[in-house]
Amino acid sequence: MSKILVFGASGQLGHCIKKVADEQQITEIVFPGEDEANILNEAGLDKLFNKYQPQYAINCAAYTAVDKAESDVDTARKVNKDGAANLAKLCKKYAATLVHVSTDFVFDGSSPDPLTEEDAANPVSVYGLTKLEGEQAIAEVLPAHYTLRTSWLYSEYGNNFVKTMLRLGAEKDQLSIIADQVGTPTYAIDLAGCILHIISNDNKQYGIYHYSNEGVTSWYDFAMAIFDISGTEVKVSPIRTAQYPTPATRPTYSVMDKAKVKSTFNIEIPYWRHSLEECIKRLNQQ
């Protein structure tokens, strides 16, 4: 496989890419430390690209604190827009292809149907807006890019909804979970596998692709599945978004249509509950 540089290697998705790369015995992949791979330091990035001469860069680095972004707009924009633009410029200079990870939060959630790559983006949060700006900044500079929008990411690594629910389920007798936001969870191991598959089967069909697991659920039903699979006994009450106000507005419906990524790269995508079972099994083995 071609030489790959991974940015945001210490985060959830970065860990999953490393795990999948190890399982697939991919050796031409580099996971530089945060100082060396700071996407806001263009001169440092130039040194890194010059040192490794990668054919691909994977950008997992992002500002993902959705609520905090509402009061920290400058930092969110620097990381999600300017950092992405910096990587695109360096990829262009060194003739590398960029695989960039984006989000379902670029949509407003008003569509009644699964969202395609052709649907108009209309973010309703600072996080979603800055991620969209990052997508646009890349597209302006670098034709050779794949942007993968994903949703509700979780894994054995980092902080995520699954691990939070398992912790709260062990600590509390009763929980209230939002039931009127609908989407699809994505096991970061599956997304990592998709990214590496695209690189190893690169057909130059550049652009935006949607990737999550298959199926549709709400946060409430997702939580119920977590407790069911893990054997956690806790009373869970469904609540409406209006009963749990947050600084950032979230899309009410962000199910994504994955026909394009499946047909273009000939991939099969697991159903969300099957992947959740695999994740919880791995967590139990830790």
In a domain, 275, yes or no: no
Is 244 among the domain residues? no
pLDDT at 34: 87
The pLDDT of residue 1 is 57
Nearest to 252 by CA among 104, 64, 116, 80: 104
Residue ranges, the chain, pLDDT below 70 = 1-2
What per-residue confidence (pLDDT) applies to 180? 97
Total count of domains within the chain:
1
Q: Is residue 178 part of a domain?
A: no
Evaluate whether residue 223 is within a structural domain.
no
Share of the chain above pLDDT 70, in %: 99
For residue 286, the model assigns a pLDDT of 86
Per the residue annotation, which of 56, 63, 94, 127 is the catalytic one?
Answer: 127
3-class SS at 263? helix
pTM of the shown model: 0.97
Q: How far apart are CA 284 and CA 286, in angstroms?
A: 6
157 is catalytic: no
Q: Which residues contact 165 (CB under 8 A, 6 or more apart)?
A: 175, 223, 226, 227
Residues 121-165 have pLDDT tens digits of 999 999 999 999 999 999 999 999 999 999 999 999 999 999 999
Residue 279 in any domain: the answer is no
Q: Is residue 282 assigned to a domain?
A: no
- Report yes or no on 222 lying in a domain: no
Q: Which domain holds residue 73?
A: 4-160+184-214+255-270
Please list the residues that pair with 28 across neighbouring strands.
none
Residue 225 located in a structural domain:
no
Residue 130: CATH number of its domain: 3.40.50.720
